[in-house]
Each structure stands twice: as structure tokens, then as C-alpha cells.
Amino acid sequence: MNNLIFTLIIIFSLFNVHGISQPISDNKSLSNEQWREDGHFLFEKLQKTHPNPFFCSSKDTFICATKDLYERIPELSDDEIIVEFMRITSLLKDGHTRLHGKNLTNLWFPVRVYEFEDGYFITATHRNYVDAIGAKVIKIGKLTADEAMSRIKEITPHDNAYSLSYTAPMYLTMQSILSGLHILDDPNFLNLTLMKDEKTFELIIPAAKFESDSDLMWYWMSNSVPTEEPIRFIDIGKDSLPLVHSNIDQFYWYEYLEDIETVYFCFNMCLDSESENFLEFNSKLWEFIDSSNIKRLIIDLRNNIGGNNQIVLPLVYSLIKHDEINKKGNLFVLTGRKTWSAAMHCATWLERHTNATFIGEPTASGPNHYADPNRFMLPNCKIELLVSRYYWQNSWPWDERDYIDPEIIVKLHSQEYFEYHDPVLELLAKKMK
């Protein structure tokens, strides 16, 4: 038997002597035994399923963390236990391996923040709080914004610092996580101290029920919040939106930018859409490029969280065949902190097989990374567990980069975003003219 699994069984047995007779306290929906059973299930699946669970943290670190949690379970609330499960899972430093889904919390806070270069700002919320959009977050509960987000980042699954920045704000919406991290004064209310137009004010958001989908696509795909009445900044000024925020719910689309004689291809999801599969779309894209004798192409992967990596191969093959586009100065790939999973595969293949110039932020994972998770359900709390099955070596075996670092780095400030600017595309357009 594997030594780690054996060790965890021993730990589980030591703290399971009282069986189901243990009382369920006021702050627990499950007994100590049930939580330990879930913990044992989680640790065993991480060990048995992941190709290399100790590539980032040592086995000893993992064992010590699990033993400490098993000892403390009787002292912890449900929310605190969930947070500690997440803390241990995040030791793997693999964003595809995580506790996941709508069962992570029973109540939600409809607020979305984004980490700009100059701080955390609200980009979406419930329609009742529309005036808060564009406000800088000064405090979250009883902590400063930086302190609160630092706590959240400690338990957030991630591949690198950029995926961490993108993913962490999702847990700000989950009442259980904020409660388990002791960020809130009252677990039923999210108290924010905000600043907008040089004025400071308080916003108190009550926790509410929300029927989320299992994969939380309102966050990953739609850049929205968990409520039936969301309002996003990109909904407010639709006529002024830069291209990167236009048609954000479309998997892929393109537009000819006549002033710079370039095709802009916005690739938001590596999946076949219902109206047109990607192979058909790719054919139409290149028919347009060839018939119009276009020499320059921009591929925007900044909103692409992934999907199925196999559908992107026709794009790579087409680029290799087009010598006039596949050269420096004519082919550009835009990346950011959301460029992850299958989109990361796409970026890596474009880096390796074409002459593209990369511009924007570093990607959300490295060229070689773990992915394609198996899905499990913790037996008692019913929280979903994802564990990576494969190591994708899309680059050279010795490529240990945590991300693709663009040749031209462009960072985003809040003023640019809320004034409807896209500094990446604007800089690129200047270079082309």
C-alpha cells in the first residue's frame, strides 16, 4: 500500500474512535466523523489520481497539514473545514485540481472585483448596487482589501501568480469561504468600504440564495456575478466597449480593422458553438483573409479560459501554411491572466510553431502543466473535487516556465478600463500605423 495513503488511514482511524455517536454542534451540519470521512476521501483521491501530487510541496508538508487538520476538526465549523480542505488542495499548485462547484457555499454575495495595477475595483454586482461599479475596494469586512484578498489567495487553486489574481475574486462571492476565513463581522452580510469620485462610502450586501450551474460559468465565461439580476460594467456602455469586451459570450468571432488593415480574431472559448463549429469558423476566417489579401492577424486569447484543446489545431495548421501572415510584424497573440487550460495549449502551440509576437499580460499557466481532471464528489458534504489526470508537455521537456511572458508587457489600470480603453490593442494599433 502506498505509504501516504497508509499514513492517512492511520490518522483517520485514530480520530474516528467515537464513530457516529459524536454530536453535531450548532455550527456543524455534519459530524466530526463525516468530515473526517470526506477528508480521507479527498486526500486519497489527490494521491491516487494526480500524476505527481508532490511536484510543488513535499510529501512531509502534505502529511503534516492533513494530520493537523484531522486533529482540529472537532474545533472547527463547517466553513472553516471547507477552507482548510481548500488550503491543503492548493498545496499542489495546480489550478485544475481543486474543490469546485456550486456546493462550496449555500449563500452568495453578488459582487465581482478585479485586481488592477492600482488596486481592487468592482466591475459587476447586483442591479441594486449599480452605483458601486467602478469603486475602489478599501476594506472587505474588517480587513483591508489587500489583507482580505491575501487570505483568499492562500486557499485559492492556481498555477501561477496570474491565474491566482484572476481566480481569487471568485471566492469573494462565497459566504462560506469568507466566513471560514474570518473576514466577515457578520457571516450573513458582506460589508465593503469603497471609494469612488474621491468619496468613501459603505456598501452592505446581504448573503442570498442563487441557483448556480455546477461549473460557475457566470464567473469564468460571462464575467458576471451570482444573482438573477446582474449588472456588469460592460453592460453599461455597450456602444463604447473595446473589442476585447464586445461579444464576450460568443466563443469566437472576427472583424476587419480597416484603419490598420488587420483582421482581429477574438477567441473566447475553445469549444464548438451551437451555431457553428470551430472547424467551419476557421475555414470562413481564412477564406476571408485569402480573398481580401490580408497580411496581418491579431489573435486575442485574453478572455479564453479553455475548453477542448483539439479544436484549435486547424488554426495552427492554417497559420503555418500562410507565410505572409506567419512572420514577425504580421502575426500577434494577445494573452492575459485568464488565458488558461486549452487556451494555454493554443498559446503554447502558437509560440512554438509560428512567428507570432505576444503582447499583453503573462498567461495563467505554464506551457507544460497538469490538466484534464477527474471529477469526484465528497461523500457527505457533496462538494465536487477535481483532480488532474495528465501532464501536458506542450513545450520542451526542460521548459519549466510558469507562464508565457509576452515580448511586450502591457498592464491594466482601473482608469483605462472604466474609460473604455484597451491599452493592449491601442498600443498595437499605434505600432501598425
pLDDT mean for each 10 residues of the chain (433 residues): 47 42 60 96 95 92 92 96 97 97 97 98 98 98 96 98 98 97 95 97 97 96 97 90 94 96 98 96 98 96 96 97 96 98 98 98 98 98 98 95 97 96 95 84
Find residue 307's DSSP bridge partners: 270
User: Cα(429)–Cα(432) distance, rounded to whole angstroms?
Assistant: 5
Supply 346's cell numbers: 493554443
The alpha helices in 251-408, defined as continuous H runs, are 278-291, 313-321, 342-353
pLDDT of residue 311: 96
Find residue 125's DSSP bridge partners: 111, 231
pLDDT of residue 26: 53
pLDDT of residue 121: 98
The 3-state DSSP class for residue 86 equals helix
Helix axes 59-72, 3-14, angle to 10 degrees: 10
Write out the H or E segment, with its range, that includes residue 123.
Answer: strand 119-126
**Fold observed for domain 239-366+401-432:** 2-enoyl-CoA Hydratase; Chain A, domain 1 (3.90.226)
Write out the H or E segment, with its range, that includes residue 335.
Answer: strand 331-335
pTM: 0.93
Amino acid at 405: D
pLDDT of residue 3: 52
Give the count of beta carbons closer than 10 Å to the beta carbon of residue 68.
12
Q: What is the per-residue burial (b if ≥16 Cβ within 10 Å, else e) of 326-341?
A: beeebbbbbbbbbbbb
Start-to-end CA span in the chain (Å) = 65
CA nearest to 349, candidates 385, 393, 381: 393
Phi, psi of 236 (to 5 degrees): -80, -45
Output DSSP code: residue 174: B
**CATH code 2.30.42.10 for 103-235:** yes
Find residue 384's DSSP bridge partners: 100, 377
CB 283 within 8 A of CB 251: no
pLDDT of residue 234: 94
pLDDT of residue 28: 84
Supply 164's cell numbers: 491566482
Return left, alpha or beta for 204; rule: phi > 0 is left, psi -120 to 50 is alpha, else beta: beta
